[in-house]
Amino acid sequence: MTRPRCGAQTAAGRPCTKPAMVNSSRCQLHQGGWSAYGVAQRKKKEAEAKMRKLRKRK
C-alpha cells in the first residue's frame, strides 16, 4: 500500500513529490501548525510541560 502524495505546491510552483503523512493531505515539510496533526502535537507538548511544572512544584 502506498501513501498518497503531498498536495502542496513547492516554491518553484510544481507539486510536492513527497508522500503525505498519515491522516493528512500534506507531507511533514508542508504540514503547518494549523493542521489536525500540528494541533494535536502542540496540545501534547503543552500537557507534558504542564505536568513537568506540576511535578517540579512538589
42 CB-contact burial (10 Å; exposed 0-12 / middle 13-18 / buried 19+): exposed
Task: Say if residues 24 and 41 touch (Cβ distance below 8 Å).
Answer: no
Q: Mean pLDDT for the chain?
A: 85
Please check the confidence at residue 8 and state whether its pLDDT lies above 90.
Answer: no
CA-CA-CA-CA torsion for 9, 15, 20, 24, nearest 10 degrees? Answer: 50
Q: Average pLDDT of 2-23? A: 86
pLDDT band at residue 58 using 50, 70 and 90 as cut-offs: low
Alpha-carbon distances of 38 from 1, 13, 20, 57, rounded to whole Å: 25, 24, 14, 29
In sequence order, which ranges of the chain are alpha helices (DSSP H)?
36-57
Query: What is the predicted pLDDT for the residue at 19?
Result: 92
> 30 versus 49: which is more confidently predicted?
49
pLDDT band at residue 51 using 50, 70 and 90 as cut-offs: very high
